[in-house]
């Protein structure tokens, strides 16, 4: 073969291919930082659940009062998720993420300094507004570095940050709470947010990856003007895939909210575990969830590489996770012995709370890149209303029913997960519902 033939056979290294080659390492550095971002995010959330009994005793709160204080976290959570999700389509996600992390740290300070229920509620509202957009914007940033067929792993890793945040924070924060009080734990998570912000300022970046076929189609068919923008969003939000994904993710987030707020208390007051044991056990469902997330990502990726559509690879695999979680919860009331009940409870929380990666990658596939931030942010806003409702509902159940309230809350969660599994199985099919800008 001549030099000319070799040159003709080898694809030319254009500036674009060089950029893609050199961006590989940067993509994983950014993904790693976003994993830590979500670790700090969920450590912020978990600290109140870990200190539930101490906070209630210190401030003289009933279970309903404590549930309301935690529900306050979600008062602006959903609104902020929509607003910042839409903004992320126009403003650099790098600066949005930096601003969020700094606000998290600032929001911890008033309650760390002192004050009662009013300060607690006020700071939780501010923290919720700052954290509401975190997950969709972090996912949007990570996914922007990868093509669709490679997004399962980075999407799972960013979601895994949620799990790692609780796994690493639970034992350490429990120790801080026991030795130095719950307000000291707030200073710890505030410092973690500042340190992450400094690292992100130096190393963070936005990805530039877009699906070439989708962008070409978008250039041809995307409507112009404000009416065109809202027409594109209506098409996404009215699709069966977006509706099914959102319903299923709502039921999964209900489980996540209870795991954060009431699981430590359930382990201590409902199942009789010591505070130290409960602090260790809290990490177990998150660890199981991490395994489930990685297994789901590996299975979905394997299926898609073999030509299986997202209807099965994402929708029905996700439905299976929710179904298994529901079955574990339903079995809890029929089992004797604390050990077996604890094991089923842990499995139900771990499996039932593992739908996030399925939801994010499905909507990212459904929506064109220029509408992805708004689609993800709006889904997150709807889904996280579960966090607004669940802590208060369960708090009232505990006040009115005592220890039985914990178990009944698990049965309610099982029924919701069954509903989510049906929605995911029946409605999710991105190939059928993809917008015109994603179907070239």
Least reliable range by pLDDT among 156-165, 267-276, 351-360, 398-407? 156-165
What pLDDT is attached to residue 229? Answer: 57
C-beta of residue 70 within 8 angstroms of C-beta of residue 48: yes
What integer is the mean pLDDT of 193-216? 72
Q: Is residue 329 pLDDT above 60, yes or no? A: yes
What pLDDT is attached to residue 16? Answer: 39
Q: Is residue 415 pLDDT above 80, yes or no? A: yes
The rounded percent of the chain whose pLDDT value lies above 70 is 87
Q: Is residue 217 pLDDT above 70, yes or no? A: no
Mean pLDDT of the residues in the chain: 84
What integer is the mean pLDDT of 343-359? 94
Q: pLDDT grade, residue 46 (50/70/90)?
A: confident
What pLDDT is attached to residue 2? Answer: 44
What pLDDT is attached to residue 334? Answer: 92
Find, among 382, 366, 387, 370, the residue nearest to 431 by Cα. Answer: 366
What integer is the mean pLDDT of 250-267? 92
What pLDDT is attached to residue 156? Answer: 80
C-beta of residue 143 within 8 angstroms of C-beta of residue 364: yes
> Other C-beta atoms within 10 Å of 152: how many?
27
What pLDDT is attached to residue 178? Answer: 87
For 122-178, write each residue's pLDDT tens digit.
988 999 888 888 888 888 888 888 876 677 788 888 878 877 887 788 888 888 998
What integer is the mean pLDDT of 220-224? 43
What pLDDT is attached to residue 294? Answer: 83
**Residues in Cβ contact with 289 at an 8 Å cutoff, skipping those fewer than 6 apart:** 163, 349, 350, 351, 353, 354
Q: State whether the Cα torsion 237-243-249-250 is positive or negative.
A: positive
What pLDDT is attached to residue 191? Answer: 94
For 172-195, write each residue's pLDDT tens digit.
888 899 899 999 999 999 999 999
For 239-258, write each residue's pLDDT tens digit.
999 999 999 999 999 999 99
What pLDDT is attached to residue 396? Answer: 93
What integer is the mean pLDDT of 86-103? 86
d(CA 205, CA 33): 10
What pLDDT is attached to residue 302? Answer: 92
d(CA 217, CA 211): 10
What integer is the mean pLDDT of 292-321? 92
What pLDDT is attached to residue 376? Answer: 82
What pLDDT is attached to residue 199? Answer: 93
C-beta of residue 30 within 8 angstroms of C-beta of residue 142: yes
Could you tell me how far CA 347 lies from the centroid of its own chain?
Answer: 18
**Residues in Cβ contact with 169 at an 8 Å cutoff, skipping those fewer than 6 apart:** 39, 42, 43, 46, 47, 50, 189
What integer is the mean pLDDT of 26-54? 88
d(CA 10, CA 149): 24
What pLDDT is attached to residue 184? Answer: 93
Domain 27-205+232-431 has CATH 3.30.70.3150: no
Q: pLDDT grade, residue 72 (50/70/90)?
A: confident
Backbone angles phi, psi at 131, to 5 degrees: -95, -15
What pLDDT is attached to residue 133? Answer: 85
What pLDDT is attached to residue 3? Answer: 43
**Residues in Cβ contact with 143 at an 8 Å cutoff, skipping those fewer than 6 apart:** 151, 154, 155, 207, 360, 361, 364, 372
CA angle 13, 16, 20 (to 5 degrees): 95
Q: Is residue 309 pLDDT above 50, yes or no? A: yes
Q: pLDDT grade, residue 208 (50/70/90)?
A: low
The rounded percent of the chain whose pLDDT value lies above 90 is 41
């Amino acid at each position: 073969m001549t030099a000319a033939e070799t040159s003709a056979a080898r694809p030319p290294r254009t500036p674009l291919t060089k950029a893609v080659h050199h961006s590989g390492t940067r993509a994983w550095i950014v993904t790693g930082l976003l994993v830590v971002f979500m670790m700090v995010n969920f450590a912020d959330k978990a600290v109140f659940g870990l200190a539930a009994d101490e906070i209630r005793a210190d401030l003289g709160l009933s279970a309903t009062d404590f549930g309301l204080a935690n529900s306050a976290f979600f008062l602006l959570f959903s609104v902020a998720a929509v607003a910042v999700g839409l903004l992320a389509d126009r403003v650099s996600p790098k600066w949005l993420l930096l601003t969020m992390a700094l606000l998290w740290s600032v929001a911890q300070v008033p309650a760390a300094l002192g004050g009662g229920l009013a300060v607690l509620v006020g700071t939780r509202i501010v923290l919720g507004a700052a954290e509401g957009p975190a997950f969709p914007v972090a996912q949007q940033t990570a996914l922007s570095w990868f093509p669709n067929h490679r997004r399962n792993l980075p999407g799972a890793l960013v979601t895994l940050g949620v799990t790692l945040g609780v796994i690493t924070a639970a034992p350490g924060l429990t120790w801080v709470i026991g030795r130095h009080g719950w307000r000291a734990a707030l200073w710890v998570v505030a410092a973690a947010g500042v340190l992450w912000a400094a690292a992100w300022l130096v190393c963070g970046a936005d990805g530039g990856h877009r699906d070439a076929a989708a962008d070409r189609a978008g250039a041809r068919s995307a409507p112009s003007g404000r009416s065109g923008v809202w027409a594109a969003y209506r098409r996404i939000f009215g699709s069966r895939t977006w509706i099914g994904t959102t319903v299923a993710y709502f039921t999964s987030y209900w489980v996540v909210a209870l795991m954060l707020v009431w699981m430590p208390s359930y382990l201590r007051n409902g199942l009789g575990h010591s505070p130290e044991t409960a602090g260790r056990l809290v990490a177990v469902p998150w660890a199981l969830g991490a395994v489930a997330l990685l297994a789901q990502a590996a299975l979905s990726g394997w299926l898609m590489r073999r030509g299986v559509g997202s209807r099965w690879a994402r929708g029905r695999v996700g439905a299976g996770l929710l179904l298994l979680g529901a079955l574990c919860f339903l079995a809890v009331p029929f089992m004797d012995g604390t050990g077996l009940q604890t094991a089923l409870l842990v499995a139900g929380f771990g499996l039932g709370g593992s739908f996030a990666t399925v939801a994010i990658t499905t909507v990212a596939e459904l929506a064109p890149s220029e509408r992805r931030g708004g689609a993800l942010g709006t889904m997150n806003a709807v889904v996280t209303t579960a966090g607004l409702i669940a802590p208060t509902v369960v708090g009232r159940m505990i006040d009115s029913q005592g220890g039985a309230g914990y178990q009944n809350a698990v049965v309610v969660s099982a029924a919701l997960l069954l509903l989510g599994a049906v929605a995911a199985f029946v409605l999710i099919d991105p190939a059928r519902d993809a917008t015109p800008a994603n179907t070239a």
